Amino acid sequence: QLQASGGGLVRAGGSLRLSCAASGRTFSSYAMGWFRQAPGKEREFVAVITLSAAGSTRYADSVKGRFTISRDSSKNTVYLQMNSLKPEDTAVYYCAARLRFLTIGTMTTSAVYDYWGQGTQVTVSS
């Protein structure tokens, strides 16, 4: 349903672009988000975008100004452009889909998402 890709190893200050392709029921999601989980830590919110015409977005404070979430409706794909990467960005990144409406401020919690991708590893070396 959700296929994440684009992770890899990059030096601090570098960039990566993650992709999340939706299929099946996730094709008509209301919103899609990115979360990440570092070793020994809980999964944390990164960014979310609604798939409506407005395309509203919300970011975690830790990535604001460095990461950009976007969507390509023609490809049913959501992207996470990550710039100025830091070692603390190292984690497994997961994309998730929310099928029904919810205010964007409440979509920072993993529990509200209906589907999850398999995760892609991002490693930032110092």
Q: What is the mean pLDDT of residues 90-97?
A: 98
Percent of residues, the chain, with pLDDT higher than 70: 100
Q: What pLDDT, on a 0 to 100 scale, did the predictor assign at position 53?
A: 82
pLDDT, tens digit (0-9, with 9 covering 90-100), for 34-77 = 999 999 999 999 999 999 888 899 999 999 999 999 999 888 99
Judge whether residue 28 has pLDDT over 90. Answer: no
The β-bridge relationship of strands 120-125 and 8-11 is: parallel
Distance, in Å, from the CA atom of 15 to the CA atom of 81, rounded to the nearest integer, reads 7
